[in-house]
């Protein structure tokens, strides 16, 4: 009923509002085009055109059909390639979650472009998560691959990991903060009087964890790493930030680093993927990281070179 020729005939009649002009462009007779449209209208049991001696105009139903026709043509033309891609083990969609500590807009855009060029028929979905939320998305929310999984060892045998390295932390405050004048190392009794700036763990099914919070200390939760950095700079609170991230801010004098009594140990991070969904796209991304490809370098800028 809606084969390619019928769709083209319908679209040309709608474009020219004339059977003769549509037939001329399609190298058919006006009678053949008129007959094809009549068969289509009979098949859908709906009038698609109103006809007069001078013009042919779309009905509302015809307008709706026209809005869908180009999509159908595009779909029919791309379907053979899509089917071959599926037969070759290429995922129809790829869901990627990125740890907020490694999330980088430029790197996401480069990865997205490279994925689209390599796998043009794969739907790409990218999001970010915090702490155990990365594991949660991988295990419970249908994500194929995670960049920046906390830890070097899997917590579930359905997931494989490849280590990226360790992210070191720096306790930083604004130069005008009251703690800035105190003799290091700073003690817990001195720190707990000032709010800790934290990003809430996004996990919904796995127990949430808190990055750093002392007993009886006020906690201020912010939505992302950029906001946390801004709160450190304006003196709203204290806490640890990725050492590589804050180094330029320390060099500019916007932040200062202070030694504390209990420092935060480096955080190991990995890429992780589900074994049951390791298709061609997933493997392609894994290879980018194992080969240290330039496309993914921006994701690693907060990770210590010495640990990679």
With respect to residue 262, please indicate whether it lies within any of the assigned structural domains: no
With respect to residue 70, please indicate whether it lies within any of the assigned structural domains: yes
Q: Are residues 123 and 177 in the same domain?
A: no
Q: Give the CATH number of the domain where residue 65 resides.
A: 1.10.10.10
**Residue numbers of the chain with a pLDDT score lower than 50:** none
Q: Are residues 157 and 281 in the same domain?
A: yes
Q: Are the CB atoms for 225 and 128 separated by under 8 Å?
A: no
Q: Are residues 156 and 178 in the same domain?
A: no
pLDDT value of position 5: 86
- The residues facing 241 across adjacent strands are 170
With respect to residue 190, please indicate whether it lies within any of the assigned structural domains: yes
Q: Are residues 230 and 285 in the same domain?
A: no
Q: Are residues 173 and 224 in the same domain?
A: yes
With respect to residue 24, please indicate whether it lies within any of the assigned structural domains: yes
Q: Are the CB atoms for 56 and 23 separated by under 8 Å?
A: no
Q: Are residues 243 and 181 in the same domain?
A: yes
Q: Are residues 35 and 73 in the same domain?
A: yes
Q: Are residues 158 and 282 in the same domain?
A: yes
Q: Are residues 36 and 81 in the same domain?
A: yes
Q: Are residues 106 and 250 in the same domain?
A: no
- The residues facing 58 across adjacent strands are 49
pLDDT value of position 69: 86
Q: Are the CB atoms for 253 and 194 separated by under 8 Å?
A: no
Q: Per-residue DSSP letters for 3-68? A: -HHHHHHHHHHHHHT-HHHHHHHHT--HHHHHHHHHHHHHHHTS--EEE-SS-EEE-HHHHHHHHH
Buried b (16+ CB within 10 A) or exposed e, 246-261: beebbeeebbbbbebe
Q: Are residues 160 and 38 in the same domain?
A: no
Q: Give the CATH number of the domain where residue 135 resides.
A: 3.40.190.10
Strands ordered across the beta sheet of 159-167: 123-129, 93-99, 145-150, 267-274, 159-167
pLDDT value of position 277: 78
- Output the pTM of the full model: 0.74
Please identify, among 64, 87, 110, the residue that sits at the C-terminal boundary of a domain.
Answer: 87
Q: Are residues 77 and 42 in the same domain?
A: yes
Using the structure block, give the residue that is written with the tokens 């070759």. 88
Q: Are the CB atoms for 66 and 10 separated by under 8 Å?
A: yes
* Domain total of the chain: 3
Domain that holds residue 297: 93-166+267-307
């Amino acid at each position: 009923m809606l084969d390619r020729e019928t769709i083209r005939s319908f679209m040309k009649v709608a474009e020219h509002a004339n059977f003769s002009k549509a037939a001329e462009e399609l190298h058919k007779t006006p009678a053949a085009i008129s007959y094809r449209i009549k068969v289509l209208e009979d098949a859908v049991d709906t009038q698609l055109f109103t006809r007069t001696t001078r013009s042919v105009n779309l009905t509302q139903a015809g307008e709706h059909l026209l809005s869908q026709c180009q999509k159908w043509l595009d779909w029919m033309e791309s379907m053979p390639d899509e089917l071959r891609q599926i037969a070759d083990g290429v995922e129809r969609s790829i869901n990627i979650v990125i740890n907020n500590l490694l999330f980088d807009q430029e790197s996401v855009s480069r990865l997205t472009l490279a994925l689209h060029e390599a796998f043009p028929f794969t739907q790409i979905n990218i999001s970010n998560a915090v702490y155990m939320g990365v594991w949660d998305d991988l295990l419970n929310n249908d994500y194929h691959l995670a960049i920046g999984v906390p830890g070097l060892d899997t917590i579930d045998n359905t997931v494989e990991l490849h280590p990226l390295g360790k992210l070191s932390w720096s306790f930083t405050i604004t130069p005008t903060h009251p703690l800035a004048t105190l003799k290091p190392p700073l003690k817990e009794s001195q720190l707990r009087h000032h709010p800790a700036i934290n990003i809430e763990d996004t996990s919904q099914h796995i127990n949430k964890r808190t990055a750093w919070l002392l007993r009886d200390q006020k906690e201020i939760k912010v939505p992302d790493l950029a906001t946390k950095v801004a709160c450190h700079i304006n003196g709203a609170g204290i806490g640890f930030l990725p050492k590589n991230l804050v180094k330029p801010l320390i060099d500019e004098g916007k932040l200062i680093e202070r030694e504390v009594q209990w420092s935060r140990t480096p955080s190991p991070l990995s890429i992780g993927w589900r074994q049951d969904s390791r298709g061609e796209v997933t493997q392609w991304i894994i290879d980018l990281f194992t080969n240290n490809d330039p496309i993914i370098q921006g994701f690693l800028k907060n990770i210590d070179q010495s640990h990679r």
